[in-house]
Structure 1
Amino acid sequence: MKLTILGGGGFRVPLVHGALTSDCGVTEVVLHDVDAARLAAIAAVLAGRPGPPVRTATDLDDALTGARFVFSAVRIDGLAGRTVDERVALELGVLGQETIGPGGIAYGLRTVPVALDVARRVAAVAPDAWVINFTNPAGMITEAMQQVLGERVVGICDSPIGLAARAARALGVDGPVVPDYVGLNHLGWLRGLSVDGVDRLPELLADDARLATIEEARLLGAGWVRALGALPNEYLYYFYRTREAVAAIRDAPQTRGEYLCDQQERFYAAAAAEPATAWALWQQVRDERDASYMAESRDAAGAGERDAVDVATGGYQQVAVALMRALSGGPPATMILDVRNGTAVPGLPSEAVVEVPCLVGPQGITALATKPLPLGMLGLLQQVKAVEQDTIAAAVTRSAELALRAFAGHPLVDSVGVAEQLLAGYRARLPGVAAVLG
């Protein structure tokens, strides 16, 4: 079975390859990237490593033809683009983060056309493939690609599964749990956690000591998560503690994008110079990267260091491989995924991509129905989904007016005037946005 990884020169690709166990059915991995030097560096990292054989390709059709699964993890304008996503917003006093708020809109504007081109090539040369989307903003890009490939595109994120696992550990539960999770990508809540048919989340929310072991509760405060009656996804920190988040990112010596850009430039240069040491170099850089994730927000909130078990257990690569295994004839599984809503989340359009528990098996993916959301949660989802859909439409129609509406409509942008400046700044400083909107 052939697996193609788009964005195959990306730093996190070795995590995916390392998760491909012998029972997942993959016999060939093709890494595709437009940057041959990055491909060579990642190939050097993987040289001699356990797992299925790997080859590289810079031709898209060559990489896709005959694939059973396609993992899509592309980054238009590279990490340099991410730094612009962050800085244009911060210069205007608005949150600078690559997937939340204006940065996510700019990222989506330049990524949607590329994602649609990829979807068309998949339809042409690998029509039976499943596309598992890692590309951010994951919900938006998955929804755009579904316009071409329908429900054979599914988005994944490790944040909801990690949140449920942290809640289970805090309760001392080692066995299976049933999470009641609902939202959009990077915007959702764990509303319940059933163990043997009993919801244990109220017990957890009432216990300060147990809550203190959960990073999301430390970020947002025990009092606030109790007021919500739910554990929010970690990215809701940016919505619920916006002023603190903006101040922390603005005052940091580097944005996250700048940090990663500098770090990865050094890694790729060193791997090219000494391919024999590429694996050791990659491991060192990965450890630094994992430990520093959301560091400025944790510092501002007094949340402390990341829990060692969270760093050690990894993330989205395990989700992707488990999904692939279930779709390929392995045991059916229930997973939290980004899929077409249908009627799963009342109050959102049927075509909207939502992040909810799903039943996965050889027959495909079925989104499971969720209980109605309180108005405050539903309203936030509706507002952000409207922004995502405006961004997709702006990218498809090359409409600056729709792009402006997306920026102005986001709950983290407080003025149409600021939205106009954001749009002008991104058009001026991001080649990918300029190419779409002119």
Structure 2
Amino acid sequence: MKLAVVGGGSTYTPELIDGFARLRDELPLSEIALVDPDERRLGLLAGMATRMLARAGHPARVTTATRAEEGVEGAGAVLLQLRVGGQAARDVDETLPLECGCVGQETTGAGGLAKALRTVPLVLDIAETVRRLAPDAWIVDFTNPVGIVTKALLDAGHRAIGLCNVAIGFQRRFAAALGVAPERVSLGHVGLNHLTWERAVYLDGEDVLPGVLADHAEEIAADLSMPGWLLRRLGSVPSYYLRYFYLHDAVVEEQRTKPSRAAEVAAMESALLEMYGDPSVDTKPELLEKRGGAFYSEAAVALVASLVGDRGDVQVVNARNGGTLPFLDDDAVIEVPARVDARGATPLPVDPVEPLYRGLIAHVSAYESLALDAAIQGGEERVRDALLAHPLIGQAGPADELARRLVDANRSFLPWAVSR
């Protein structure tokens, strides 16, 4: 099978290639097409991927294309991992909101909205190309904000599923804490992308979360940059991104005193690209682990293998709500365990969600609908409405100022704003 990676010039790509090489029996590939408009990065990553596959004795060939039309034709699956505007745009996403007293983060709050505005139109254009040249292909979206991008794809009728590495990361952490193989652990994972809680940790079908919290709350909390007492009070394990909600003011003060994550990542990327250009390097560097995206390759391989192989196993993905969470619209996109087969992903039934989580999920889901409307329809007023609806902003003054400044900062990426 041919698999295309749009955003193949990303420094994440060797993580994917490593997974494809190790899990070749699970997902046999004959061609991996890397698609990226940046010819320099594309060349570096193609060379690195080729060496990694050769070292592993994997038979797949690596091809490259600077345009989606050239890379996705005939693919059985297309992975999206692109970043419109690169780390420079991300730096604005992370720093501009701080000037208005709001959290600066690339997928959550005002920064997440800015990224959605830049990303959704391009992703929809790419998806139309996939529909035309690879009509049977599944689109797997790893591009943030995953929930909003996935909803855009589904609303447009594309064969798409959203994927995030938060759930598989928790599964691996819990398995390590319990001293067992990861496949023995499953999760009571519920919420929206980057707004999820682990309400249960099942070991061979038995919920052991109370014991995990009793023995490991401080360790888990430290990993999430949250206090242990909060996890014990919740009786669940929130994703790292909940710290922006639960500890908002403290995070804003922290962010104001240190360089942005974008600045850190830009330095890492420069070092990684230099390594990828070294013809003697044929394994993913240790530095890549600090870049983020841990276990992304395992999650991607498992998802694509289930879609094309009709396996019917359970994985945590981003899919249509379809009544799973009755307090949300049926067409909302949620992140929960789902059965994955050749027809797509069908969420499994979820125990009633407690009001402590339900209100925040509903609030952010409503924001995501407004954010998608702004990304597709355009207009500063729609941007302002989405910001006003977001629980991390929610005030008229900051929403008005942020709307104006976000549009100005991203004008070159927004066709509807360029002429103004």
Match of 2:42 in 1: 39
Match of 2:210 in 1: 202
* 1:245 has 2:251 as partner: yes
Match of 1:13 in 2: 13
CA distance in 1, matches of 2:88, 2:311: 42
Match of 1:3 in 2: 3
Structure 1 segments unaligned to the other structure (5+ residues): 294-310
* 1:380 has 2:385 as partner: no
* 1:167 pairs with one of 160, 166, 174: 174
* 1:262 pairs with one of 258, 267, 270: 267
Q: Which residues of 2 match residues 79-158 of structure 1 at below 5 A?
A: 79-150=87-158, 152-158=159-165
CA distance in 2, matches of 1:87, 1:75: 17
* 1:286 has 2:293 as partner: no
CA distance in 2, matches of 1:265, 1:149: 38
CA distance in 2, matches of 1:436, 1:212: 48
Query: Shift in Å at residue 178 of structure 1?
Result: 3.2
* 1:418 has 2:420 as partner: no
* 8 Å Cα contact 1:395-1:437 kept in structure 2: no
Query: Shift in Å at residue 47 of structure 1?
Result: 3.4
Q: Which residues of 2 match residues 345-364 of structure 1 at below 5 A?
A: 345-364=325-344
Query: Shift in Å at residue 431 of structure 1?
Result: 3.6
* 1:230 has 2:236 as partner: yes
Query: Shift in Å at residue 94 of structure 1?
Result: 1.1
* 8 Å Cα contact 1:69-1:324 kept in structure 2: yes
Query: Shift in Å at residue 216 of structure 1?
Result: 6.1
Give the partner amino acid of 1:425. R
Match of 1:323 in 2: 303
CA gap of 1:200–1:361, structure 2 versus 1, over 3 A, is same
* 8 Å Cα contact 1:212-1:218 kept in structure 2: no
CA distance in 1, matches of 2:371, 2:100: 20
CA distance in 2, matches of 1:432, 1:277: 39
Query: Shift in Å at residue 95 of structure 1?
Result: 0.6
Give the secondary structure class of the aligned counterpart of 1:26.
coil
Query: Shift in Å at residue 116 of structure 1?
Result: 1.0
Give the secondary structure class of the aligned counterpart of 2:393.
coil
CA distance in 2, matches of 1:275, 1:196: 45
Match of 1:366 in 2: 346
Which moves more between the two structures, 363-372 or 333-342? 363-372
Query: Shift in Å at residue 29 of structure 1?
Result: 0.5
Give the partner amino acid of 2:150. T
CA gap of 1:400–1:184, structure 2 versus 1, over 3 A, is same
Query: Shift in Å at residue 162 of structure 1?
Result: 1.6
CA distance in 2, matches of 1:218, 1:12: 22
CA distance in 2, matches of 1:433, 1:420: 20
CA gap of 1:431–1:8, structure 2 versus 1, over 3 A, is farther
Query: Shift in Å at residue 30 of structure 1?
Result: 0.5
Q: Which residues of 2 match residues 22-61 of structure 1 at below 5 A?
A: 22-23=24-25, 24-50=27-53, 51=58, 52-61=60-69
CA distance in 1, matches of 2:275, 2:202: 47
CA distance in 2, matches of 1:129, 1:123: 8
Give the secondary structure class of the aligned counterpart of 1:371.
coil
Give the partner amino acid of 2:211. E
CA distance in 2, matches of 1:188, 1:218: 13
CA distance in 1, matches of 2:186, 2:50: 39
Give the secondary structure class of the aligned counterpart of 2:338.
strand
CA gap of 1:316–1:267, structure 2 versus 1, over 3 A, is closer
Match of 1:211 in 2: 217
Give the secondary structure class of the aligned counterpart of 2:199.
strand
TM-score normalised over the length of structure 1: 0.88
Spell out, residue by residue over 1:36-58, the C-alpha distance to the aligned partner (whole angstroms, 9 max, x if none). 11101112222322232101101
Give the secondary structure class of the aligned counterpart of 2:309.
coil
CA gap of 1:27–1:219, structure 2 versus 1, over 3 A, is same
Structure 2 segments unaligned to the other structure (5+ residues): none
CA distance in 2, matches of 1:423, 1:361: 41
Spell out, residue by residue over 1:99-119, the C-alpha distance to the aligned partner (whole angstroms, 9 max, x if none). 011100000011111111111
Give the partner amino acid of 1:148. A
CA gap of 1:217–1:6, structure 2 versus 1, over 3 A, is closer
Query: Shift in Å at residue 432 of structure 1?
Result: 4.6
CA distance in 2, matches of 1:64, 1:93: 42
Give the secondary structure class of the aligned counterpart of 2:219.
coil
Query: Shift in Å at residue 263 of structure 1?
Result: 3.2
* 8 Å Cα contact 2:224-2:240 kept in structure 1: no
Spell out, residue by residue over 1:153-175, the C-alpha distance to the aligned partner (whole angstroms, 9 max, x if none). 11111112222332343344446
Give the secondary structure class of the aligned counterpart of 1:10.
coil
Spell out, residue by residue over 1:205-249, the C-alpha distance to the aligned partner (whole angstroms, 9 max, x if none). 3x1x42233246763222211221211111111111112211112
Give the partner amino acid of 2:263. E
Give the partner amino acid of 2:409. R
Query: Shift in Å at residue 424 of structure 1?
Result: 1.6
- Figure out how many residues of one structure are paired with residues of the other and give that number: 409
Give the secondary structure class of the aligned counterpart of 1:214.
helix
Give the partner amino acid of 1:56. T
CA gap of 1:267–1:319, structure 2 versus 1, over 3 A, is closer
* 1:70 has 2:73 as partner: no
CA gap of 1:188–1:218, structure 2 versus 1, over 3 A, is closer
* 8 Å Cα contact 2:306-2:312 kept in structure 1: yes
Give the secondary structure class of the aligned counterpart of 1:81.
helix
* 8 Å Cα contact 1:120-1:148 kept in structure 2: no
Give the secondary structure class of the aligned counterpart of 1:5.
strand
Match of 1:297 in 2: none
* 8 Å Cα contact 1:216-1:234 kept in structure 2: no
CA gap of 1:285–1:227, structure 2 versus 1, over 3 A, is closer
* 8 Å Cα contact 1:77-1:432 kept in structure 2: no
Aligned-residue sequence identity (percent) comes to: 33
Give the partner amino acid of 1:36. E
Which moves more between the two structures, 139-148 or 407-416? 407-416
